[in-house]
C-alpha cells in the first residue's frame, strides 16, 4: 500500500535510530528490485516474498540480520507474516487492525507470549504527546470520575465509489481483504482504541448501527455505536468515510465530574480542558508544564508544530528504545516509553466483531465479548 508503507518509512527514519536493511517490496522481481534500489537497499536483501525474506534473514549471522520486521500489507495479509516472523525470532511492528479476525489476533497473542518477542501495533493516534498527556490527566483524577466519552472519526474519501480507482480503497472495501466491517476496521478501531487509551476504561456493552451508504459498495462505510463502559460511564462512537469534505477528522471529548478534555487530531498540538468553574485551558505540545510523558514524546519546543508523522515516529521511537534496551540488557521507563501491542490488537478485533454482531441484532444492547 503506497500510502501506509511510505508513512512507516518516514516515521521509522525520523529519529535516526532505525535503518531499513531489507524488504519484500513486491512479488514481481523487477518491481521489487526497483523499489529496493530507490530505498538504497543492497540487492541481495531485496526479496520477493515475506517467506523468502524471513528465511534468508534468519539464516544470516545474528549481528547481520534485521532486528524486526514491519508488516504494512492489507489486513488479510497480516497474520501469516506476523506468525512466521515470530517463529523465526523476529520482533514485529504491525499495522492496525492487527489481523483479519479476532481468532487470528488471539492466536498471535499466544505466539507473542510463547516467544517473548515484542509486538508493536501502530495505533498512530496514541503516539501524539497530548493524547498521552490527556490519558495522564485522567489517570491522575484531574477531571474527576469519567462520565461521558464522545469519540468520532469522520472522513469523506469514500463518498464516491473510490474503490474503482484506488487500490487502497479497493482492498479496504473488500470483505475478504479488509474484514467484517469496512468503516470500523479502517477507522472505528482507531477511535475505539483512543477512547479506551485516554479514558482508561473498557467498553462492556454496545449498540451499533452500520450503513452501506454508497451504492454498490461491498462493505459498510458508515456507522455509530452507543457505548457502556466498565465504570458506569457511557459514550458514543461515530465513524464514517462518507462525510464529504472531511479529511481525517478524529476527535475525542471526555467529561468527568470536574471538567472535560477535548482533542482534535487535525490540530494535535492543543489539548483543551474545560472546567466546571474556571476558565478553559489549552495545553500545548512542547511546553515545559506538561508531565513527563507529554514532554518526552516530542522533539520540538512549543509553537513548532509536530504532526502525524511525529506521532507515528513516537511509536517507532518508543518501540526502538524498548528493543534496544532488550538487546543491551538495560531497561526503559515504560510509563513514558510505551506503545500499543497485542492487547490493544485483541480489544480492537473484538470491538469490530461485537459491533458487527450488534448491527445484525434487533436487541438494543450486545455484550462486548472477547
> Are the CB atoms for 221 and 158 separated by under 8 Å?
yes
In the complex, least distance from residue 369 CB atom to a copy of itself, rounded to whole angstroms:
18
In the complex, least distance from residue 282 CB atom to a copy of itself, rounded to whole angstroms:
4
Contacts of 32 (CB under 8 A, 6+ apart): 23, 24, 25, 26, 46, 47, 48
Q: Which stretch binds a copy of itself (CB under 8 A): 70-78, 79-87, 191-199, 360-368?
A: 360-368
Note whether 331 binds a copy of itself by CB under 8 A: no
Residues 184-223 that bind a copy of itself (CB under 8 A): 207, 209, 211, 213, 222
Residue 57 CA to residue 45 CA, distance in Å, equals 8
In the complex, least distance from residue 309 CB atom to a copy of itself, rounded to whole angstroms:
7
Note whether 309 binds a copy of itself by CB under 8 A: yes
Q: Which is nearer to a copy of itself, 365 or 367 (CB)?
A: 365
Closest Cα partner for 352 from 108, 125, 102, 123? 102
Residues 15-44 that bind a copy of itself (CB under 8 A): 15-16, 20, 39-40
In the complex, least distance from residue 222 CB atom to a copy of itself, rounded to whole angstroms:
7
Q: Which stretch binds a copy of itself (CB under 8 A): 72-80, 112-120, 187-195, 301-309?
A: 301-309
Q: Which is nearer to a copy of itself, 99 or 359 (CB)?
A: 359
Contacts of 145 (CB under 8 A, 6+ apart): 231, 233, 256, 257
User: Which one among 303, 333, 334, 335 touches a copy of itself, defined by CB under 8 A?
Assistant: 303
Contacts of 63 (CB under 8 A, 6+ apart): none
| Cis peptide leading into residue 310 (ω within 30°) | no
In the complex, least distance from residue 233 CB atom to a copy of itself, rounded to whole angstroms:
9
Contacts of 264 (CB under 8 A, 6+ apart): 249, 250, 251, 270
Distance of CA 218 to the CA centre of its chain: 24
Residue 247 CA to residue 226 CA, distance in Å, equals 24
Q: Which is nearer to a copy of itself, 101 or 318 (CB)?
A: 318
Number of residues forming the site for a copy of itself (CB under 8 A):
87
Residue given cell 460511564 in the structure block: 233
User: Which one among 2, 43, 164, 289 touches a copy of itself, defined by CB under 8 A?
Assistant: 289
Residues 244-283 that bind a copy of itself (CB under 8 A): 244-249, 253, 255-260, 265-269, 273-283
Residue 264 CA to residue 270 CA, distance in Å, equals 8
Residues 106-145 that bind a copy of itself (CB under 8 A): 143-144
Note whether 300 binds a copy of itself by CB under 8 A: yes
Note whether 284 binds a copy of itself by CB under 8 A: yes
Residue 330 CA to residue 65 CA, distance in Å, equals 21
Note whether 68 binds a copy of itself by CB under 8 A: no
Note whether 6 binds a copy of itself by CB under 8 A: yes
Burial tier of 95 (Cβ tally within 10 Å: 0-12, 13-18, 19+): buried
Residue 162 CA to residue 299 CA, distance in Å, equals 36
Q: Which stretch binds a copy of itself (CB under 8 A): 26-34, 149-157, 191-199, 322-330?
A: 149-157
Amino acid at each position: 500500500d503506497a500510502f501506509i508503507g511510505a508513512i512507516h518509512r518516514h516515521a521509522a527514519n525520523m529519529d535516526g535510530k532505525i535503518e531499513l536493511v531489507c524488504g519484500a517490496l513486491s512479488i514481481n522481481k523487477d518491481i521489487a528490485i526497483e523499489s529496493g534500489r530507490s530505498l538504497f537497499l543492497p540487492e541481495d536483501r531485496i526479496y520477493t516474498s515475506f517467506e523468502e525474506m524471513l528465511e534468508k534473514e534468519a539464516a544470516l549471522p545474528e549481528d547481520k540480520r534485521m532486528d524486526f520486521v514491519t508488516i504494512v500489507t492489507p489486513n488479510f495479509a497480516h497474520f501469516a507474516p506476523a506468525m512466521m516472523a515470530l517463529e523465526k525470532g523476529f520482533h514485529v511492528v504491525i499495522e492496525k487492525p492487527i489481523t483479519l479476525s479476532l481468532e487470528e489476533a488471539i492466536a498471535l497473542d499466544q505466539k507473542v507470549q510463547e516467544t517473548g518477542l515484542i509486538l508493536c501495533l501502530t495505533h498512530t493516534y496514541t503516539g501524539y504527546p497530548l493524547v498521552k498527556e490527556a490519558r495522564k490527566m485522567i489517570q491522575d483524577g484531574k477531571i474527576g470520575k469519567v462520565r461521558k466519552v464522545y469519540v468520532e472519526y469522520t472522513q469523506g474519501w469514500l463518498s464516491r465509489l473510490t474503490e474503482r480507482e484506488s487500490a487502497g480503497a479497493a482492498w479496504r472495501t473488500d470483505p475478504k481483504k479488509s474484514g467484517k466491517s469496512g468503516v470500523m476496521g479502517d477507522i472505528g478501531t482507531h477511535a475505539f482504541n483512543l477512547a479506551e487509551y485516554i479514558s482508561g476504561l473498557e467498553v462492556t456493552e454496545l449498540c451499533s448501527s452500520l450503513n452501506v451508504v454508497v451504492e454498490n459498495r461491498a462493505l459498510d462505510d458508515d456507522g455509530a455505536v452507543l457505548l457502556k463502559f466498565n465504570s458506569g460511564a457511557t459514550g458514543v462512537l461515530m465513524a464514517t468515510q462518507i462525510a464529504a469534505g472531511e479529511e481525517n477528522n478524529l476527535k475525542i471529548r471526555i467529561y468527568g465530574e470536574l471538567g472535560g478534555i477535548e482533542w482534535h487530531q487535525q490540530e494535535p498540538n492543543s489539548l483543551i480542558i474545560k472546567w466546571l468553574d474556571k476558565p478553559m485551558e489549552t495545553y500545548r505540545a512542547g511546553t515545559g508544564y506538561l508531565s513527563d510523558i507529554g514532554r518526552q514524546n516530542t522533539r520540538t519546543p512549543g509553537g513548532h508544530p509536530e504532526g502525524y508523522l511525529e506521532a507515528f515516529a513516537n511509536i517507532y521511537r518508543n518501540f526502538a528504545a524498548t528493543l534496544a534496551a532488550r538487546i543491551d540488557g538495560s531497561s526503559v521507563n515504560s510509563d513514558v516509553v510505551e506503545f500499543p501491542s497485542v492487547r490493544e490488537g485483541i480489544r480492537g478485533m473484538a470491538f469490530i466483531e461485537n459491533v458487527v454482531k450488534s448491527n445484525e441484532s434487533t436487541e438494543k444492547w450486545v455484550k462486548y465479548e472477547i
